[in-house]
Chain A
């Protein structure tokens, strides 16, 4: 383990940013909220626990060009718009968001590999930051995530007047090497003491012990046919906020945009909460908000684990709890449905 005096944090950022593009969670006065921003001199880390939007944009941006076309009479020219990505570092990712990347990997890196995602993933180094003050909406522990020991290429802890750092992967080693001049070797006692405290707080979080027993592929039909969906979905506005802020929601649309001299085909985030998501000429298999609402939660709690050795499609980041205009969320859903399977 290595440490850095906390008053040297800007120096660390400066050093990192000279080599690769560095992003840190900071308060954006323009947006009025914390978000990951490109580092520039003087930019400071936010005091907010987490960013309002998740960190998925780094690998799965809200819009992304897939292919360009030029049209001439009956002829079509196909142009691959992909350019080599620059290396970049995301510093200060929380444990929940770090796990969300491995969940997105299961979708985008599964055969056939999504090379757009893969390329960004390969160029990104994820440096996580342990939580010390998890909030009431946090329930990462329900998914076996330890907020005091986040995953990532390297992880950090801020304790007292020091930043402690540890590498977990080769990329993480490279990150530590690049700031070696600023840091010194140290023991892990301070970190251990902090972890113990954080884990105690996490243990007492209201939703931390959310019991998901029985939410699996075997109970798919039972859960799908539950009567609870009607009342749960009744007030849902279909606004899609929950899907947009969610670090693991990965549905997208593909659309064409006509430019002056051709066509750009791009993908953009979409939401299963929207009424036209599955609309077809012959009808719509999800006619009302009940079916759409059910899809979102069945996907995270049942379909995803059925296809991924029991791993849920939620990391308990609490964003949907905080942002839903009608205060509906995955915790309420899981609790209401629990009776069906126990």
Chain B
């Protein structure tokens, strides 16, 4: 429960309501190691404490990054702060994506919507850094508009330039200056029509998850090959405050990464 101090060394404006913060420890090094999909509790004492996905890859040994959407007390404060601000940080929390076992050697399909890219950016960059350990990497990412695409620059300049990485972007409605795909993510998944060999990671708003999962199933995907991350209200992060359970599982400790067949065995209360 006793956090460490983090120093914000860089702030990037990603979208109108999302900023990405770079954080190091007081010694200028990474505060702790993590695995893709894990989270950390960030806080400004007196303002609040909340859970955020660590969006940078574990293979980045210099710093951690967090992409944070402005939506309340703490997040508004974080959006208003300047470089050099100290925050508190504790973690890493939760089970990570099984990049060392189930994902090894597999073709990976990432489906993300909006800020849902935050938890999967880490796994994408992890796989890119350890290319030889995985098969193909296909990414389908959509948001409301071009301006709402997270990490757009990194996607264009790094992901899209990588061999063996296939990126499909889409936005909800046509927009000036956008000559890419237009339409909702679930439909785009059908159009892209990935083969059934892919292991799927899916993150985004509940409505996107619901329809994308239905479409994947219709295409022949099994729930055992689709992973997602869950978000519930959290306080402790260690399975003790009793706040974040779905049935007998605590999202902070047993999740946030779940496979859909695991979620099926739990009450539908999320």
**Interface residues in chain A, defined as those with a beta carbon under 8 Å from any beta carbon in chain B:** 66-67, 69, 71, 74-76, 78, 80, 107-108, 110, 112, 114, 116, 217, 220-221, 224-225, 250-254, 256, 258, 262-263, 265, 267, 270, 272, 277-282, 285-286, 291, 295, 298-299, 302-304, 306-307
Alpha-carbon gap, A220 to B245, bound state (A): 13
In the bound assembly, the distance between CA atoms of A265 and B43 in angstroms comes to: 11
Q: Does A251 contact B242, Cβ atoms closer than 8 Å?
A: yes
Q: What is the chain B residue whose CB lies nearest that of A70?
A: B45
By a CB distance below 8 angstroms, the chain A residues around B270 are 285
- 24 example contacts (A-B, Cβ-Cβ < 8 A) are as follows A66-B1, A66-B2, A67-B1, A74-B86, A76-B45, A76-B87, A78-B3, A108-B240, A224-B269, A252-B236, A252-B241, A254-B235, A254-B236, A256-B47, A265-B45, A270-B242, A278-B232, A280-B233, A282-B206, A286-B269, A302-B248, A303-B248, A306-B247, A306-B248
Neighbouring B residues of A112 by C-beta, 8 Å:
238
Inter-chain contacts of A224 with B (CB < 8 A) = 247, 267, 269
Partner of A114, one of B206, B235, B240: B240
Among candidates B72, B87, B265, residue contacting A281 with C-beta atoms closer than 8 Å? B72
| Chain B neighbourhood of A277, CB < 8 A | 233, 243
Chain A residues positioned under 8 Å from B88 (CB to CB): 69, 76, 78
Chain B residues with Cβ below 8 Å from A107 are: 239-240
B84 contacts the other chain (CB 8 A): yes
Within 8 Å CB of A80, what residues of B?
2
The answer to whether A270 and B45 have CB atoms under 8 Å apart is no
By beta carbon, the residue of chain A nearest B71 is A281
Q: Is B214 in contact with chain A by the CB < 8 A criterion?
A: no
Q: Is the interface of B mostly helix, strand, loop or mixed?
A: loop
Is B48 located at the chain interface by the 8 A CB criterion? yes
Confirm or deny: B65 has a beta carbon within 8 angstroms of a beta carbon on chain A.
Answer: no
Distance in Å: Cβ of B68 to nearest Cβ of chain A: 12
Q: Specify which chain A residues have a CB less than 8 angstroms from the CB of B1 in the assembled complex.
A: 66-67, 114, 116, 254, 265, 267
Q: What number of residue pairs across chains A and B have CB atoms under 8 A from each other?
A: 117
Contacts of A307 in B (CB 8 A): 248
Interface digits, B248-270 against A, CB 8 Å rule (1 contact, 0 not)? 10000000000000000111011
Alpha-carbon separation in the docked complex, A291 to B232 (Å): 15
Residue of A nearest to B75 (CB): A281
Contacts of A306 in B (CB 8 A): 247-248
* Distance between Cα atoms of A61 and B46 in the complex (Å): 22
The distance in angstroms between the C-alpha atoms of A265 and B44, with both chains bound, is 11
Are B46 and A71 in contact, with the CB atoms below 8 A? Answer: yes
* Nearest-Cβ distance from residue A191 to partner chain B, whole angstroms: 38
**What are the residues of chain B within 8 A of A282 when measuring CB–CB?**
205-206, 231
B-to-A contact residues, CB < 8 Å:
1-5, 45-49, 71-72, 82, 84-88, 205-206, 231-233, 235-236, 238-245, 247-248, 265-267, 269-270
Contact B86 A76 (CB under 8 A): yes
Cα A220 to Cα B244 with chains together (Å): 17
B86 near A254 with CB under 8 A, answer no
Q: Quick one: closest A residue to B90, CB to CB?
A: A67
Report the separation of the CA atoms of residues A173 and B248 in the bound assembly, to the nearest whole angstrom.
Answer: 38
Q: Is the CB of A299 within 8 A of B267?
A: no
CB distance from A222 to the nearest CB of B (A): 10
From the candidates A263, A291, A299, A304, name the one contacting B45 in the complex (CB within 8 A). A263
A112 to B2, CA, bound (A): 13
Q: Is the CB of A220 within 8 A of B46?
A: no
Bound complex: CA A224 to CA B270 (Å): 14
Given contacts A66-B1, A71-B45, A285-B270, contact A253 B241 (CB under 8 A): yes
Chain B residues with CB below 8 A from A67, complex form: 1-3
A74 touches B85 (CB 8 A): yes
Name the B residues within 8 Å of A270 (CB-CB): 241-243
Min Cβ gap A271→B in Å is 9
